[in-house]
Structure 1
């Protein structure tokens, strides 16, 4: 599967859902905005997921959405998948999350909620992709 935008293989992981929360070099804008929310609070978590993670303005191709959700579904099926490691601060990386996110109480639950809302928000695109023969896909577009 090739991403038409980059020309490189598209192999999504659950971490792809976190890019919208990366505040590196945006600590005083996006960082301050996100710090108003508590990812441990279910109402705040819903807003974070639906308005940021699944932002209606972000319109990835339907096949990309399908593959993203499938990668998350596979990770959620793996009882040993280390979701906590996805939020771990890496001083060598040019990325960071809002303060305290690396200590989120139930990271797996956060990703379960992403999955739940993605299935709802993207249902038409996911259905469209599921009706296709994925073995024939050359690109995710």
Structure 2
């Protein structure tokens, strides 16, 4: 299992990791208002959201690779429920911008993340792909 060197905890990403940057809980007047300018159902707005927010996070090239691969696996699973990732849980201290839980096609949103991540992260993905991934794991 890959251990995140920063936290020394196992790094087991899910596609929801791409959404953390959109969490407006306790930031409704700042990030929330900023994100309200964009419509995730509009392809041009979606590209800005993904490139300017979702793919800009501080991740190592190995984390990017594992995250990219976990999204790839989810997209290959025709039954993967991307809508569930957008559902608001009133018992959690997190929330996405208003209306995101009613996104027209959440799968398209994540397909765009995958496509853009492949472009934006291309060098990091190639670097990780070239490594012996068995050296990333502690037994």
Relative to the length of structure 2, the TM-score reads: 0.96
Q: Which runs of 5+ in 1 are unaligned?
A: none
Query: What is the CA deviation profile of residues 32-91 of structure 1, one whole-angstrom value per residue up to 9, with x for unaligned ones?
Result: 100110000000000000001112xx3311001000000000000000000000010000
Q: Which runs of 5+ in 2 are unaligned?
A: none
Instruction: Name the structure 1 match of 2:100.
Output: 101
Query: What is the CA deviation profile of residues 8-44 of structure 1, one whole-angstrom value per residue up to 9, with x for unaligned ones?
Result: 1100000000000000000010001001100000000
CA deviation after TM superposition for structure 1 residue 138, in Å: 3.0
Instruction: Name the structure 1 match of 2:7.
Output: 6
For 1:102-117, what aligned pairs fall within 5 Å after superposition?
102-117=101-116
- Point out 4+ residue stretches in structure 1 off by more than 3 angstroms: none
CA deviation after TM superposition for structure 1 residue 92, in Å: 0.4
Question: Number of aligned pairs?
Answer: 137
CA deviation after TM superposition for structure 1 residue 7, in Å: 1.2
Instruction: Name the structure 1 match of 2:73.
Output: 74
Secondary structure of 2:128's counterpart equals helix
For 1:1-141, what aligned pairs fall within 5 Å after superposition?
1-55=2-56, 58-138=57-137
